[in-house]
Structure 1
Amino acid sequence: MKIKSIHIYSHDGRRRDVMFHLNGLNVITGRSSTGKSALSDILEYLMGRSTFNIPEGVIRDRVAWFAVIYQFDGEQVLVAKPTPDSGRASCSLAMLRRGAQLNVPVFAELTVNDDDDGVETLLSRLLGIPENVTDVPLSSTRESYQANIKHTHYYLFQKQGIVANKDQLFYRQNEQFQPQAIKDTLPILLGISSRDKYELESRLRGVQRDIRLNGKLLEQARNAIATSDEKALGLLSEARAVGIALLDVGETRSWVDLLRSVLAWKPAPVPEDDGLRVSAIENDLVLLRERRREIQQRIDAAIQYAKRSEGFETEAEEQKDRLTSIKLLPKNPATGAWQWPFAEANLGMETPLAAALLAELESLEREMAAVVGERPALDEYLAGQRQDIQDIGDQIRNKEVELSGAIASSEIIAQMGNRNNAASRVVGRVSLFLEGLVPDEELARLEREDRRLKAKAEDLERKIGTDDSRERLVSTLNSIAMHMSGYISALGGEFGQFPARLDLHNLTVAIDRPGRPIYMPRTGGGENHLAYHLAALLALHRYAANNNQPIPRFLLIDQPTQVYFPSETVYKAADGSVETTETDADLEAVRRLFELLRRFTEVDAPGFQIIVTEHANLRDGWFQAALVERPWTKPPALVPGDWPNENGEVA
């Protein structure tokens, strides 16, 4: 994408054309305030930016329309936009034309047929910017967005206040949010963020959306199944309460069949005994709660007994341990062998006193054994009682649901006048409930789909995780840095003997001097800053052009030789003449700059287009051949002096 021509139209229909060389160096030189610096603002306005930044004065007052013809491979695109209405600072209306070879329209042909979004979309597509989305961390509050033609502006325009600014490398870098936009989109424009990654991320977002949708259906199905028993029991209770005859329990094995039998109900005369069902359920609840209290009392008693027995068991064990140490019985109960070490065998064991003592010892032995033996039986008893109380609790809950349904039906009967009306309502609710049931096959299908989608998401995440974009970005920046030092040296910049690089994190130029790096803001001298700016931009464009990356093949530089004049006042006084340049400027430095730019378009990036707006002029033949027009004065200038304003007045 290059600039073939720029056109402006007066309010009375006249047209001014500025034609450019598509390949190589273009120079527009002349006096101050002739409209040279406005060219970059006009181009940006005609690349889809709605904000009208063209300075107030002659251009805004006397120009009705602006137009440009862009040259692509095998195609030309014309973009035209009107000057915003008085009092407005922006305009998004545009005119678009496409063709292999376009004629410049006359004023009468200018008409709005599109807007800035259309301009942006068309230029981005023709430039070859792939479908993309910026890589934003999940933890970040900012959102992802697409890189487009507007994100190339940073590298196309070096305006007068930027070209030698040590604190700002790229155009608009000093505006809010723009530094992050540069960091987000430059990797895409350099071909780092691949289309494959974008497609994988797009597919992953689609799969994650399907997982959420299927997950909601699965959750609803599981909730419906989890609560279906309770709802079915309530509906069955309501059906009984309104007198609907159900299948006998022995005739069916599921409540689904019972509920389906409700659908066969037909209106019939029934006795008005609405309260009997409620009373019967309440009586059942009273009995169940009484049984639960009785069982709980038995459990409490058993627990108290267990606590007391544990205390006795502890004491008995201690006594047993003491007596065991001195051999409780004279003879071992298992073998019959004499075991008292302090008495001879059978000494005095036949006396009444000995017999009484031995009987007491044997009784103590039996009691201790009994206490230990009762513990498992007590635990088993408590487990059984607790199971009984849990079963009764389930029965009570079911009865409470049944009672709630019966009471609801009784209320319906009272409201609707008779059982038949109430029964009709219950049948309707049963029908709706059965229709909403999730079959087991459907639940299984949803679960299979959930597993399939999650496995697919994991596979896509794995493929995305193997993306090597970070390593490729480092490699690309190294390729760009490879030429920066050479450009700095060619422009006479300081530290040209050390490797230079584009620091994307800080958006500046860094010089890797041994010991510690030097950053552009910490260097001095406008000539150095100009060298660093041009080195970074030329190296970036060289990489993009030679690797066919989607950045336009032009660069517009505004007044770069200002650093080679003794003062800003002297530079502004220069009128674009060769004599003034040779008298006031560092002629060798000026020639070195333009020779570098010419060599770049012919050798480093063949066919590249560089447009320089200047006050300086050289008598060299190659420089004069690069002049777009003869030096601008008043007249000539960008806007002819006899053009009227919107009111038809000529100053």
Structure 2
Amino acid sequence: MQLLALALYHRDGRKDHRVLRFRPGALNIITGESETGKSEVQDIIDYCLGRRTPNLPDEPIDQSVGWYAVLLIFKDGSRMVLARPRPTGASTLHAMVRTGDATLELPQADELIANSNVAALRSEVSARLGIEDFRFQPPTGAARSAFDVSIAQAALLCFQNQNEIADKTTLFHRQTETGMAQTLKDTLPYFLGAAGPEQSLRRHHLGEATRAQRQAQRKYEDALRQQAATDAGGLTLVRLAENEGLLTDVPVAPDTGQVVALLHQALDASPRTAAPLDLPDRRYELNEERRALREKLQEYDDTLASVDRWQEQGRVFTGELHLQLNRLQTLALLGPEQLHDATVCPMCTQPLREPDLSAQDISDLTSELADELTHAQTIQPVREEHRRVLQAERAAVAERLRLNGAQLRELVASDGRMRHLQEQHVRIAHIQGRIAEALNRTGSDSDTNKLRHELDLAKDRVAALQVLVNEDDIAAETERCLTNIAINMTAWAKHLNLGRAATATEVSISLNLLTVIVRSPDSRLPLRRIGSAKNHIGYHLVAHLALHTYLQSNNRPVPGFLMLDQPTQAFFPEKPRDASKVQDADWATVTAYFTLLDEVAQLNEGNLQIIVSDHANLPEPWFQDAVIANWRPDDGGNRNALIPFDWSR
């Protein structure tokens, strides 16, 4: 898989879009001044290939571009368009995928529509690339999770940002991000051809078989421990059951078989000494009766109090009647005065405004009071009789309440005996529960033998799978692949006259360290111990060129392009405006680096596409033939860049 074109579409949907064409199977150079978008090309392509967390610049690209798209070509001649909208926020999962034959081209702006997502995009590209559909299974006991191998891991081998290509501590794209170094170590053997889905599946089966063996081992050991515990504690349970009457005629020193038999006998025995628990029916009845009697006694007390209040009120009433009647009876002593005119004042003989009562009226009132007093005195004996009846009934209720209390005290007196019987029943139930638990934990000899047999089968399966995994010897096969890669690395490092290369016996990639190792008869140095940025960049170049040459010659499922950003940065001042105008740079070394890139592209006979973004612009014809974009001001002073000048206006 190689790149044919990159397209940027304006956010306003205008028809004209920015297109950058690439030459497949050759060296492609994007040269120009600083801040023209050279480095962003690599980030955009990485994003279009399905990266979930893009690293795209904010200005001016983010302000003007609405969609990004790449046109890919595969070895069979088929093509694919991968387009993704400008990310909103930290990421976006939307994508557009279109496939076709050799006539497929970049879509027009009005054809862009999200018809897929990142997961489907990766799956489609991975299948076209030839990456087998399998899930990488980490070794048994590893803390990391399994993952699907796809273009996401293969793309890590195809990019070198400007801060990565000059890094002396890392070798691969995004290696310093969390988990990426381990991902590279896990997948590089597959991409080299040292491991495949079969090996991963065998390792997965070995992990499952190992876990099954550990489970079988635990079950067997638990059974042995439980059996030993029963032998030690079984006799104690037998003695406890004997003390409670569940067993009789127990031998003085029973053996293991007798102990188990006695435990089963005690479990099946009925507890003769354990009386049934006392049901509180009688106690409940007595308490209910006592409550009812107390309520009835209270009712009688309330009624008697009412009668007493009634009698007291009657006595007060009759006493008042006697007093008033005695006062009125003095009217009988009057003589002729009884006939006095009540409408005239007896003192002044003047007419009264309101006439007084006549003597006859007062006499009539006296007769009425006498009748009422006689009636009230006849009621008093009835009240007394009613009170005596109530007192008699209350006395009967009080006697019943006394008898009820005596019965309750009798029940309380018998609680001690009943409590003893209940405690004995609880002890027996507790002992039988312990016996049942002990017998459940302890299997028979046949159960133990079955667990032992299952453990032996699990061990045999682990041993058989371990033999298959050992036969794979992925580490040795990976080392063989890296040794083949080291042949070109060593030769090209010497050709570029890199540090320590002249005396080196081998320059290779270390899978464990993910860096370049320079071996000589007296030393073994990692890249971080070799000085100068020139050497750091040079060793990155020879490592990735040799790696991709090996991958393409062995038809491995890795994209056939390598993108390098600023490989000559070590030879120019910091952030030069235009490196082609720097006079004191080591142009001989710069030329040697680009010459090697061109030669390796030709060596791969069209299978490897190398894309370089750099400030350098060599005058050699072969270099100028490789330039696909020169982003410097033209003769008229107009600025050339990835983003057209009129897009930012």
Q: Which position in structure 1 is the counterpart of 2:465?
A: 460
Q: Which position in structure 1 is the counterpart of 2:270?
A: 403
- 1:22-81 deviation line (CA, Å, top 9, x unaligned): 111001111111111101110111111111211111101000000111211222221111
Which amino acid is 1:192 matched to? A
Q: Which position in structure 1 is the counterpart of 2:70?
A: 68
Distance 1:133 1:98 in 2: 26
Q: Which position in structure 2 is the counterpart of 1:381?
A: none
Q: Which position in structure 2 is the counterpart of 1:97?
A: 98
Which amino acid is 2:622 matched to? W
TM-score (norm 1): 0.63
Measure how far apart 1:395 and its partner are.
4.9
Which amino acid is 1:401 matched to? D
**Kept in 2: contact 1:131–1:198 (CA 8 A):** no
- 1:167-210 deviation line (CA, Å, top 9, x unaligned): 33222222232222222221121111233222323455676788
| Mean Cα deviation higher: 391-400 or 593-602 | 391-400
Segments ≥4 residues shifted beyond 6 Å: 206-219, 282-285, 404-408, 441-454
Distance 1:405 1:594 in 2: 103
Distance 2:255 2:511 in 1: 74
1:10 aligns with 2:10: yes
SS at match of 1:611: strand
Measure how far apart 1:455 and its partner are.
4.5
1:27 to 1:445, Cα distance in 2 relative to 1, 3 A:
same
1:209 to 1:108, Cα distance in 2 relative to 1, 3 A:
farther
Q: Which position in structure 2 is the counterpart of 1:186?
A: 188
1:158 aligns with 2:160: yes
SS at match of 1:51: coil
SS at match of 2:520: coil
Kindly report which structure 2 residues correspond to 1:60-209, keeping only aligned pairs within 5 A, or say none: 60-74=62-76, 75-85=78-88, 88-101=89-102, 102-134=104-136, 136-204=138-206
Q: Which position in structure 1 is the counterpart of 2:500?
A: 495
**Kept in 1: contact 2:508–2:518 (CA 8 A):** yes
Distance 1:389 1:134 in 2: 52
1:594 to 1:283, Cα distance in 2 relative to 1, 3 A:
closer
Which amino acid is 1:483 matched to? N
Which amino acid is 2:596 matched to? L
SS at match of 2:646: coil
Q: Which position in structure 1 is the counterpart of 2:615?
A: 615
1:218 to 1:564, Cα distance in 2 relative to 1, 3 A:
closer
**Kept in 2: contact 1:542–1:605 (CA 8 A):** no
Kindly report which structure 2 residues correspond to 1:454-603, keeping only aligned pairs within 5 A, or say none: 455-497=460-502, 498-499=504-505, 500-565=507-572, 567-569=573-575, 571-574=576-579, 580=581, 583-603=583-603
**Kept in 2: contact 1:79–1:94 (CA 8 A):** yes
SS at match of 2:270: helix
Quick one: percent identity of the two aligned structures? 32
SS at match of 2:577: helix
1:407 to 1:447, Cα distance in 2 relative to 1, 3 A:
farther
SS at match of 1:118: helix
**Kept in 1: contact 2:36–2:631 (CA 8 A):** no
- 1:298-348 deviation line (CA, Å, top 9, x unaligned): xxxxxxxxxxxxxxxxxxxxxxxxxxxxxxxxxxxxxxxxxxxxxxxxxxx
**Kept in 1: contact 2:85–2:95 (CA 8 A):** yes
**Kept in 1: contact 2:68–2:83 (CA 8 A):** yes
Distance 2:90 2:212 in 1: 45
Measure how far apart 1:18 and its partner are.
0.9
Distance 1:38 1:585 in 2: 25
**Kept in 2: contact 1:217–1:446 (CA 8 A):** yes
Distance 1:538 1:464 in 2: 32
SS at match of 1:502: strand
Kindly report which structure 2 residues correspond to 1:231-310, keeping only aligned pairs within 5 A, or say none: 286=245, 288-289=247-248, 291-292=249-250
Which amino acid is 2:612 matched to? V
Distance 2:535 2:87 in 1: 40
SS at match of 1:4: strand
TM-score (norm 2): 0.63
**Kept in 2: contact 1:600–1:606 (CA 8 A):** no
**Kept in 1: contact 2:565–2:613 (CA 8 A):** yes
Alignment counterpart, residue 640 of structure 2, candidates 633, 636, 651: 636
SS at match of 1:97: strand
Distance 2:578 2:255 in 1: 107
**Kept in 1: contact 2:485–2:508 (CA 8 A):** yes
SS at match of 2:125: helix
**Kept in 1: contact 2:137–2:201 (CA 8 A):** no
Distance 1:595 1:389 in 2: 88
Distance 2:139 2:255 in 1: 57
- 1:79-124 deviation line (CA, Å, top 9, x unaligned): 1111123xx1211111111222322111121111221111222222
Distance 1:23 1:110 in 2: 28
SS at match of 1:568: coil
1:400 to 1:507, Cα distance in 2 relative to 1, 3 A:
closer
Distance 2:477 2:40 in 1: 38
1:625 to 1:283, Cα distance in 2 relative to 1, 3 A:
closer
- 1:379-406 deviation line (CA, Å, top 9, x unaligned): xxxxxx6459985984575254342799
**Kept in 2: contact 1:285–1:396 (CA 8 A):** no
**Kept in 2: contact 1:492–1:531 (CA 8 A):** no
**Kept in 2: contact 1:487–1:531 (CA 8 A):** no
Distance 2:272 2:220 in 1: 28
Measure how far apart 1:471 and its partner are.
1.3
Distance 1:561 1:404 in 2: 96
Distance 2:264 2:105 in 1: 88
**Kept in 1: contact 2:140–2:207 (CA 8 A):** no
Pairwise CA RMSD of aligned residues? 4.2
**Kept in 2: contact 1:27–1:613 (CA 8 A):** yes
Distance 2:545 2:273 in 1: 87
Q: Which position in structure 1 is the counterpart of 2:352?
A: none
**Kept in 1: contact 2:217–2:455 (CA 8 A):** yes
Max radius of gyration: which structure?
2
Gaps of 5+ in 1: 220-281, 296-384, 416-440, 644-649
**Kept in 1: contact 2:155–2:558 (CA 8 A):** no
**Kept in 1: contact 2:71–2:105 (CA 8 A):** no
Gaps of 5+ in 2: 222-240, 282-445
Which amino acid is 1:480 matched to? I
| Mean Cα deviation higher: 591-600 or 94-103 | 94-103
| Mean Cα deviation higher: 148-157 or 591-600 | 148-157
Measure how far apart 1:631 and its partner are.
3.6
SS at match of 2:516: strand
SS at match of 1:628: strand
**Kept in 2: contact 1:502–1:536 (CA 8 A):** yes
Q: Which position in structure 2 is the counterpart of 1:337?
A: none
Aligned residues: 466
SS at match of 1:174: coil
- 1:539-570 deviation line (CA, Å, top 9, x unaligned): 111111111122211111112122233x225x
1:284 to 1:591, Cα distance in 2 relative to 1, 3 A:
closer
1:99 to 1:450, Cα distance in 2 relative to 1, 3 A:
farther
**Kept in 1: contact 2:246–2:269 (CA 8 A):** no
Distance 1:389 1:171 in 2: 69
Distance 1:506 1:448 in 2: 44
Which amino acid is 1:167 matched to? T
